[in-house]
Structure 1
């Protein structure tokens, strides 16, 4: 397949690198400092999936008019979705499917607004990666295989979904196809909603959230609201009740990652925009749509935005003082 990766940071580079190594024709579109290093030395992938150097990648820092593609992988931040897909729509000459491998809710709907639901696919990704140096990425953690599928209401052929999943899986990234991708995306959102905002606001690791009854109660309220919203949105979750999910979250999901700090906190500390509006913020927006109160998710979203904005202002003031 001829594949373009839009937003080739850590996750996009891993997908692009493995697919290129698997024999596919891959173009990465990303930040110049990363693309130039890959062009000069190849893409170096290290970590739990072994060491790889991939030299058969085409790299771009801006998107030209492009034809003959079979698939676009979208790996930009959720708040960049509309801008990126609009750019793709202007420059991609053929009606190819766009597979979102992003965090949070709302990405599929935004893509479908621009290119239509029949070209919109979603993916659930729960392995982690980071850019160590320009041109170098490391796969740091793996929880479960990637799941890909068309959004609800799409007429995208099941056979083509299976082909995409088989291509990813055959390249060395465990992957399967589904006709219920929203169920898998919501499963990841529940985890992120319960942990990321509270740990980022309090500036603690995930394990600390389990050590205090107040923070455990806060996580319960987040999940209760999220379940109510998901049910109203006709999403079939893998757990029959909030209590069933919370038991798994507290006993099985948090302990292995107890020492981890959320990437959301790292974004705040570095003066970057977070993806809160695609996680707790999205739950709150869907609550408004279905007339379901979500005061906890709404409040947490506001607090993260406050911290995020304050940190960006700090960085701007620091730059002014150093000029």
Structure 2
């Protein structure tokens, strides 16, 4: 399968690397020093499942040079979604599949508006990975789970083919008919831990066992779930305790990518991870006091990072 990775960060670099290692024809789209390092030294992956290097690696900052592909995997930061959706258009042919492994819950609609919703598949991943240095991806979690589905719930040959291709990488891959529910289930988790991690600046293991912090985490999970239900999303009735159990079972040293960006003084995904919950809560008349507080606490730092970029 001919595959383009739009955004070779932690998620895109890791899964793109696995796909290339499995024998797929993968092109990595990156920028700056990261792109130069990949071109010169290949893509190095340091993973809890075993280190490897893709060398030589196809890499470019010009999607038009790649041409039409079978699959575009978008894994840019969410604040680059609209730019990425425009940039991938030269790679879209009649049967090209497009899947987003970004955080948040609105990427598919934004990308589909640019390239056509008929190309979009729904996708979610659970993974902790980041760029450690130019050309180097670190992968830290014991989980590397992917869930796929057609946005309308159908079971189609194309989504089954993609499942099989991704499964050959060694990742856990599931095919579902309720991808919207899955996306929101993940969002309940990632939105809440991004807020708590960014405010506390410590790891899962350092805040999840502190009673006061755990109570705030539980409330954040409940707020995001309440917003989803107000939108008509069918979530499991026990999603909050299930998500807490998942956090408890996760490696103690994990930090969400948004938290890592904030700690490094970089622009972060505050709008698509926290701001969207606040805005939807306001529109739907659902109280979100923890998420509003997180947004207020973190927004000044985001504005500073933007000003210095």
Same fold (TM over 0.5): yes
Q: Distance in 2 between matches of 1:144 and 1:41?
A: 25
Query: What's the CA shift string for 1:256-312, capped at 9, x where partnerless?
Result: 444434432331232211112222222223323434333432332232112322455
1:297 aligns to what? Answer: 291
2:176 to 178, 183, 188: 178
Measure how far apart 1:65 and its partner are: 5.3
2:112 aligns to what? Answer: 112
Query: What's the CA shift string for 1:230-264, capped at 9, x where partnerless?
Result: 11222222x31xxx333334455235444434432
Query: What's the CA shift string for 1:165-196, capped at 9, x where partnerless?
Result: 11011133332222222222222211222222
Q: Distance in 2 between matches of 1:161 and 1:277?
A: 30
* Structure 1 pair 287–117 and aligned structure 2 pair: CA distance change class (3 A): farther
1:87 aligns to what? Answer: 87
1:286 aligns to what? Answer: 280
Q: Distance in 2 between matches of 1:65 and 1:259?
A: 39
248-257 or 20-29, which deviates more: 248-257
* Structure 1 pair 69–255 and aligned structure 2 pair: CA distance change class (3 A): closer
Q: Distance in 1 between matches of 2:207 and 2:126?
A: 21
Q: Distance in 2 between matches of 1:174 and 1:2?
A: 21
Q: Distance in 2 between matches of 1:4 and 1:250?
A: 35
* Structure 1 pair 94–272 and aligned structure 2 pair: CA distance change class (3 A): same
Q: Distance in 2 between matches of 1:267 and 1:98?
A: 26
Structure 1 residue 164 corresponds to structure 2 residue 162: yes
1:1-323 equivalences under 5 Å are: 1-64=1-64, 66-89=66-89, 91-95=90-94, 96-151=96-151, 153=152, 158-237=156-235, 239-240=236-237, 244-254=238-248, 256-310=250-304
Equivalent pairs counted in the alignment come to: 308
Q: Distance in 1 between matches of 2:206 and 2:127?
A: 22
The two structures have a TM-score, normalised by structure 2, of: 0.88
Q: Distance in 2 between matches of 1:93 and 1:252?
A: 37
Q: Distance in 2 between matches of 1:251 and 1:71?
A: 34
Rg larger in 1 or in 2?
A: 1
Q: Which runs of 5+ in 2 are unaligned?
A: none
CA RMSD between the two structures: 2.5
The two structures have a TM-score, normalised by structure 1, of: 0.85
* Structure 1 pair 112–291 and aligned structure 2 pair: CA distance change class (3 A): farther
